[in-house]
Amino acid sequence: MSRIAGRLWDRLAQEALAARRAAYAPYSRFKVGAALLTDDGTIIRGCNVENASFGLCLCAERNAIGTAVTMGYRSFQALAIATPSSPPGPPCGMCLQTLAEHCSDLDLLLVNPAGERQRTKLRRLLPHAFCGKGVRPPAHLL
């Protein structure tokens, strides 16, 4: 069961939808926003930022995680993701793996501008995540 109260889910949904409006998506026109809730209650936004070289695009979820880590946050409770699709879309595989690196039990809320919502858990979308436990860098990098 989620430890997030209903009003906080509403706020996360609003923040993700607001972040979505800031997205830079001139190629796909698929704007995505994310609102990441840290363990201390801070909400950090992210949006997708596309690039003509598609491999360089940055997803909203990874943007939010990168911003949070840059700000010194390492522990997260929940993430709301706003997509234009119906039903609301889940994170891509790269984002799922990035999220699993930081919080394998993350609560997720998928939303869209029409008001549709779906709650789930990261471990449900990525049940066998590679968590890197015991992974060591090559000896020449130590």
Q: Is residue 1 part of a domain?
A: no
**pLDDT bucket at 105, cuts 50 / 70 / 90:** confident
Q: Is residue 26 part of a domain?
A: yes
Cα–Cα dist 73/4, whole Å: 19
| Domain membership of residue 96 as a residue range | 6-141
Q: Is the pLDDT of residue 137 over 80?
A: no
Cα–Cα dist 124/85, whole Å: 20
Q: Is the pLDDT of residue 1 over 90?
A: no
Q: Is residue 51 part of a domain?
A: yes
Per-residue model confidence (pLDDT) at position 134: 58
CATH number at residue 69: 3.40.140.10
* Residue in this structure with the two tokens 């990874």, named with its chain if needed: 62
Q: Is the pLDDT of residue 12 over 60?
A: yes
Q: Is residue 64 part of a domain?
A: yes
Count the domains in the chain: 1
Q: Is residue 21 part of a domain?
A: yes
The predicted model scores a pTM of 0.89
> Catalytic amino acids?
61
Cα–Cα dist 93/118, whole Å: 18
Q: Is residue 56 part of a domain?
A: yes
Per-residue model confidence (pLDDT) at position 59: 97
Q: What is the mean pLDDT of residues 71-87?
A: 97
Q: What is the mean pLDDT of residues 84-88?
A: 97
Per-residue model confidence (pLDDT) at position 26: 97
C-beta of residue 61 within 8 angstroms of C-beta of residue 67:
no
